[in-house]
Amino acid sequence: MELDPATLDEASLYNFMMSTILPRPIAWVSTVDAQGRTNLAPYAYFMGVCCVPMTVLFCPVVPPAPRRKKDTLLNVEAVPEFVVNVANLACIDAVNLSAAPLPPGESEFDLAGVTPIPSSRVRPPRVREAAVAYECRVRDIIEISAAPGGGWVVLGTVVAAHVDDALLDPVTHHVDLQALSPVGRLGGGSFVNAASDTFTLTRYKTLADLAARTR
């Protein structure tokens, strides 16, 4: 079956994308508004972009009417900095709670029962309970569409990263997957522990490596 996006309504498009583009990593984004009030919200439209310079993106979508922009987006427009706290199994209940639609100015840190601690290079705090956090300065905000179902791409340059010492190999800088237990978003209300069912494949870095496989 071929689907034509132009013929589908917003709900159908959303359901199809969310049940096929997965698992999606979750950015637990902390920001502050112009008055310094904190906000914390999860975003499953999230990905790393490149490592030089270290760059990430997340995508706030258009919220339900009558609002046009989410608090996170309004905050990074006013104070162009944010922290991506990595969502893992140990804090997933708090991540889920922070998605609740609080009135502007009320802190999800309090609702979720997590601790804001000062970042080293940006104004928004990071989450103490998160094992990994990326402090970012906004590089660009790209509007895709402000219509229902639309959204924005927020690109951030990472200026500092934090990681639990127990998770990090200080030589390779690999983080232990099992110890981190990152959580991914699936369709609907389903999530996955990304460390619970893994397998390894050989990566072919040269044509000689590939040729050796076929012998």
- Please check whether residue 58 is in contact with residue 42, taking contact to mean a CB–CB distance below 8 angstroms: no
User: What CA–CA distances, in Å, run from 164 to 86, 96, 118, 206?
Assistant: 12, 22, 16, 34
Cα separation of the two ends of the chain: 39
Contacts 24+ apart (CB under 8 A), 60-63: 60/151, 60/152, 60/154, 61/149, 61/150, 61/151, 62/145, 62/146, 62/147, 62/148, 62/149, 62/150, 62/151
Q: Give residue 171's pLDDT.
A: 94
Q: Which fold has domain 5-214?
A: Pnp Oxidase; Chain A (2.30.110)
Contacts of 154 (CB under 8 A, 6+ apart): 57, 58, 59, 60, 73, 76, 82, 138, 140, 141
Q: 89-121 burial string, b = 16+ CB within 10 Å, else e?
A: eebbebbbbbbeebeeeeebbeebebebeebee
DSSP SS3 for 13: helix
Q: Give residue 214's pLDDT.
A: 64
Residues 47-69 pLDDT 10s = 999 999 999 999 999 988 777 89
**What's this model's pTM, rounded to 2 decimal places?**
0.92
- Please check whether residue 57 is in contact with residue 43, taking contact to mean a CB–CB distance below 8 angstroms: no
Task: Evaluate if residue 105 carries a pLDDT over 90.
Answer: no
Residues 1-15 pLDDT 10s = 998 999 999 899 989
The residue assigned the tokens 């589908």 is 8
- Please check whether residue 116 is in contact with residue 130, taking contact to mean a CB–CB distance below 8 angstroms: no
